[in-house]
Amino acid sequence: MDWQQRYVAQICKGDGAMAQFRDSWGNLAGLPSRWSSTIGLQGNSRRAYEGFLKLRLGHSEGRSYLVPDVLIAVGGYRFFLPTFFGPPLLSFNIEPGRHFADFNLDVGHPRTTKRERLVVRIRSEDRVRVYDDGAQIYRCTFEGPRALASFASGLCSPDGGGDFLLQLYHHTTPANARNIKSSGELWSSAWNLAGTRKLTNIAYGYFTTLSEIQSEEDLRTIAMASQGTIQFQTTSGRLREEVLSLKVYRDRTRDRTAALAFSVSSELIAPAHLYLHPPVGHEPAYFEVVCPDILRVGVLPKAKLRLSSSQIGVEQLEIKAFDYVIIGDAGTLDGLAAPFDEEETKQITHLEKITLETDLFDFWLANQNTDLVSGRNTDFRQLEKT
C-alpha cells in the first residue's frame, strides 16, 4: 500500500500554507487547493467502520485498477467522494474461492483543503448489486478518523433496492429556480466539463455537493471562475512544475444565488474523469478524481430530468453513458487539460462491464497479464467544431 503525501493539480489562490510543502515538494509552482498527508502524519485517533462502496474496474495501457465512485458509511448514512486513491492490493484464495481487495482513498468535505485517508477492504462474497453499466456495490470495512462525519461530502439514504440516494444541489438564478419547481423539470446542459464547448452526443444534468456558492474558491470547485481561468500544475521531477492556465466558464457568485436540493440515485451519476500522478523519485503513482464535487447525470441531447418530491428521475431510454473516462497524465500540460476538454484522446480508462455472472475478482483472475485495451470499439464524446 502507498502512504505518500498527495496533492490536487489545481492551484489555490494565496500561499499561506506553502511552507509545509517545501520540504517534500520544493518544486511546486503554487499551493495545491487540496492535499492529504501520510497515515503516519495523521495521528492515532482512528477506528474501524462498516459501509458500502460503489466502484468500477478500469484498464488503461499497462495497468488495471479499481476506480471508487462513492463510499457510504452506515450509521447516519453519509457519503464520501474520493479525491485521491491508490492502486489496489488483491489477495486471492484466502480460503478457496474467497478473495479480498485492499486500497486507500482520501476524502474530505468540499470546503476542506486537508483530506483524510481511509483504508478500505472489500471481500468477494460481499457484492450487493451490479449496475447496468458494470459498476458494482460491495459491503466493505474501512479504517478512518474518529471524527469521520466531518469529512463527509453529504448525506444520503437507502432507496430500498440496494442503492443510495445522494443529497446534492443544483445552483442557478432565482428565476430559473422558480421555473424548475413549477415545471417539475430540470433541463440538461450540452456544455463540457470546462463549460467552454458544447457536446453533441450527450448532455448532462449538473449537481454539486456544495449547498451554497459563497466564494471564488467555491466557483473553482465547480470548474467556474469570475476571471474565466483556473490554474493547474504538473506533478513531476522538474526543478519547477509547469503551470496550465485553463479556460473555464466565466461566472460570478451573485449569478448562482438559488440552490435547489435534490435526491439523486448513485446509479445515475456518471463516473468522473481522472488524473494519473506519475511516480516521482521513490514515491509511487497515485490517482486523482477530477472535480469530485461535480456530479453529472448523462442523458441524450436535450433530454430533461424529471422531478418527483425533489428526487431526480430519468426515462430509461434517455440515459446516456460511456464505457470510458479520461485519465490525464498529470505530468504534462496536455494531460492536465484533457479531462476538462473531453475531446477524443488516447489518455483514457476503459471501464469494464462486469456482469452479475462474473464479479471483478473472477474477471481479474481470468484475464491477468492480458491486453485489455487494444481492439475496443469505443464510442467517444463528440464536441461542436470550433
> Could you read off the pLDDT of 162-207 as tens digits, one per residue?
899 999 999 999 999 999 999 999 999 999 999 999 999 999 999 9
pLDDT exceeds 50 at position 214: yes
Q: Is 38 a member of any domain? A: yes
Mean of the pLDDT values across residues 82-89? 94
Cβ atoms of 24 and 5 within 8 Å: the answer is yes
Higher pLDDT, 21 or 128: 128
pLDDT exceeds 70 at position 24: no
Q: Is 384 a member of any domain? A: no
Cell matching residue 253: 457568485
Cβ atoms of 147 and 193 within 8 Å: the answer is no
**How many Å separate Cα 268 from the centre of its chain?**
14
Number of domains in the chain: 1
Q: What is the pLDDT of residue 189?
A: 96
Q: What is the pLDDT of residue 4?
A: 61
Q: What is the pLDDT of residue 385?
A: 86
Q: Is 197 a member of any domain? A: yes
pLDDT exceeds 80 at position 340: yes
Distance CA 8, CA 232 (A): 9
Q: What is the pLDDT of residue 44?
A: 60
- Nearest Cα to Cα of residue 222 among 33, 6, 30, 31: 33
Cβ atoms of 216 and 13 within 8 Å: the answer is yes
Average model confidence (pLDDT) for the chain?
Answer: 90
| pLDDT tier at 29, thresholds 50, 70, 90 | confident
Q: What is the pLDDT of residue 26?
A: 62
pLDDT exceeds 70 at position 1: no
Most confident of 45-49, 77-81, 281-285: 77-81
Higher pLDDT, 348 or 19: 348
Least confident of 13-17, 30-34, 35-39, 69-73: 13-17
| pLDDT tier at 138, thresholds 50, 70, 90 | very high
Q: What is the pLDDT of residue 202?
A: 98
Q: Is 300 a member of any domain? A: yes
> Could you read off the pLDDT of 91-120 as tens digits, one per residue?
999 999 899 999 999 999 999 888 999 999
pLDDT exceeds 80 at position 251: yes
Mean of the pLDDT values across residues 210-230? 92
Which range of residues forms the domain containing residue 107? 6-367
What's the sign of the alpha-carbon dihedral 42, 111, 238, 339?
positive
Higher pLDDT, 332 or 31: 332
Q: What is the pLDDT of residue 62?
A: 86
Strands (E), 215-367: 224-225, 229-233, 243-247, 249-250, 258-265, 274-277, 286-289, 294-299, 304-308, 311-313, 324-329, 348-351
pLDDT exceeds 50 at position 20: no
pLDDT exceeds 80 at position 38: no
Q: Is 99 a member of any domain? A: yes
Q: What is the pLDDT of residue 40?
A: 58
